[in-house]
């Protein structure tokens, strides 16, 4: 697999030099400065490519993560043809610049969501964590969303209320900031009133409506992606469950099958995120990878440890609940199948997704989940698994 590294652009505290020193050769990035729905110009794409390909690094831009989908598309709101046209033009421009893999997600309002960004790990490391009682406390008692207390066990509601009653304004503000931390790049964060207003726009949008809006998007853009040789890869929901009353439709094996069938073409593909899918108690991630192997164009490899109440924490890459060795074996097997079929695009880019803050990561600025040394450790462990499996195969 192509060993890659997420980089958030020139303002990222973790440099391209660090990515190279970690052993990556591919870079996964986006033009975060461009507002959603606007065209990515050839000039802007080539400028970013030039930064990545600077002499001495030996790096190349291998995956766009993400070419974002405008919120109005998810809402099915208004005349969407100009937005679709701009997305198609961005795809054409990316292809003209040699980019062939584009990741995107269809999560309403928020991206990945955690309640704690510095959960302690034995030995003093820090990890990302989703605490169900903190999420319920925010949704029910801070956001005060009608019906937010429904569907939760009494003990979770009791813990949520206890957290809220003992919280301070500062701890509530920190919880809001943690929940907003998953939004990428320079995207505006919501405060409580603006989040309420955004959620209100989704009144009446259920899972079926959101699926219909995704299908409309795919029908509008996949023909262009196929024409120019780009594979679009949808990212699973993180966490794989409805949040704040919003539907999420990329959470299970059945969800993925339905999406890939909406426009049944290889260009309509999957980003296999083992952490997002692994947070669902009924998902068998290696089995999902096996079923959809021929439509996986990009892989995020990380692990989570789940609690019975629905909470989970980012685990070590080879720890947690997903059999990472089995998963990597599936992906390497798919690469061998593609290579034996004579395909030039046989290699699947992967990146070590998220990582613990360890050693000198602590006290240094970085995007939540994306410290330098924690990801270096994850990439090194995954590289070892790949080398061992390839040696065994050979």
Q: CA distances (Å), 227 to each of 89, 260, 271, 328, in order? A: 12, 18, 20, 30
Q: Using alpha carbons only, what angle is made at residue 132 by residues 128 and 134, rounded to the nearest 5 degrees?
A: 80
Q: Which listed residue (280, 317, 354, 356) is catalytic?
A: 354
CB count within 10 Å of CB 193 equals 9
Distance CA 19, CA 29 (A): 12
Active-site position among 70, 133, 152, 235: 235
Q: Which of 87, 135, 202, 370 is catalytic?
A: 370
Which residues contact residue 87 at a Cβ distance below 8 angstroms, ignoring those fewer than 6 apart? 37, 67, 69, 220, 221
Most distant CA atoms of the chain, gap in Å: 62
Is 370 a residue of the active site?
A: yes
Token representation of residue 37: 């729905």
273 included as an active-site residue: yes
- Tokens 């100009």 correspond to 82
Burial of 201 (0-12, 13-18, 19+ CB in 10 A): middle
Q: Which helix (H) or strand (E) holds 343?
A: none
Rg (CA), the chain: 20
Q: State the Cα–Cα distance between residues 359 and 362, nearest whole angstrom.
A: 6
Is the distance from CB of 29 to CB of 52 less than 8 angstroms? yes
- Residues 49/27, Cβ–Cβ less than 8 Å: no
Q: Which of 12, 103, 190, 273 is catalytic?
A: 273
292 in Cβ contact with 270 (< 8 Å): yes
- Cβ(63)–Cβ(26) below 8 Å: yes
Q: Write down the catalytic residue from 300, 317, 356, 361.
A: 300
Q: Which of 12, 139, 255, 353 is catalytic?
A: 353
Residue 100, number of CB atoms within 10 A of its CB:
17
**Cα separation, 132 vs 151, whole angstroms:** 12
Q: Identify the three-state secondary structure at position 142.
A: helix
- Cα–Cα–Cα angle for 256, 262, 265, rounded to 5 degrees: 90
Angle (deg, nearest 10), helices 207-228 and 81-96: 40
Active-site residue 235, yes or no?
yes
Q: What residues are labeled active site?
A: 235, 273, 300, 353-354, 370
């Amino acid at each position: 697999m192509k060993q890659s590294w997420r980089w958030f652009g020139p303002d990222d505290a973790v440099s391209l030099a660090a990515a190279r020193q970690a052993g990556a050769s591919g870079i996964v990035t986006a033009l975060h400065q461009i507002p959603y729905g606007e065209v990515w110009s050839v000039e802007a794409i080539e400028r970013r490519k030039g930064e990545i390909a600077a002499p001495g690094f030996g790096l190349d831009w291998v995956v766009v993560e993400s070419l974002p989908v405008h919120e109005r598309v998810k809402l099915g709101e208004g005349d969407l043809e100009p937005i679709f046209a701009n997305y198609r033009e961005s795809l054409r421009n990316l292809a003209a610049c040699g980019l062939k893999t584009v990741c995107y997600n269809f999560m309403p309002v928020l991206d990945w969501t955690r309640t704690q960004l510095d959960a302690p790990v034995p030995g003093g490391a820090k990890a990302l964590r989703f605490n169900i009682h903190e999420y319920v406390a925010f949704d029910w008692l801070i956001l005060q969303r009608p019906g937010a207390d429904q569907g939760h066990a009494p003990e979770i509601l009791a813990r949520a209320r206890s957290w809220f009653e003992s919280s301070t304004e500062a701890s509530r503000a920190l919880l809001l900031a943690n929940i907003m931390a998953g939004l990428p790049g320079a995207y505006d964060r919501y405060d409580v009133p603006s989040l309420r207003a955004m959620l209100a726009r989704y009144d009446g949008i259920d899972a079926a409506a959101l699926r219909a809006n995704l299908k409309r998007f795919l029908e509008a853009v996949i023909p262009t992606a196929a024409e120019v040789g780009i594979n679009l890869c949808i990212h699973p929901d993180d966490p794989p469950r409805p949040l704040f009353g919003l539907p999420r439709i990329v959470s299970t094996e059945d969800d993925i099958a339905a999406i890939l069938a909406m426009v049944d073409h290889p260009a309509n593909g999957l980003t296999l995120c083992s952490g997002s899918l692994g947070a669902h108690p009924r998902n068998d991630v290696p089995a999902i990878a096996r079923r959809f192997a021929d439509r996986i164009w990009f892989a995020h490899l990380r692990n989570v440890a789940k609690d019975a109440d629905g909470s989970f924490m980012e685990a070590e890459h080879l720890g947690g609940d997903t059999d990472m060795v089995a998963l990597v074996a599936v992906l390497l097997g798919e690469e061998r199948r593609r290579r034996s079929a004579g395909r030039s695009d046989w290699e699947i880019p992967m990146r070590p997704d998220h990582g613990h803050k360890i050693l000198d990561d602590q006290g240094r600025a970085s995007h939540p989940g994306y410290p330098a040394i924690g990801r270096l450790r994850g990439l090194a462990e995954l590289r070892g698994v790949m080398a061992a499996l390839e040696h065994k195969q050979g």
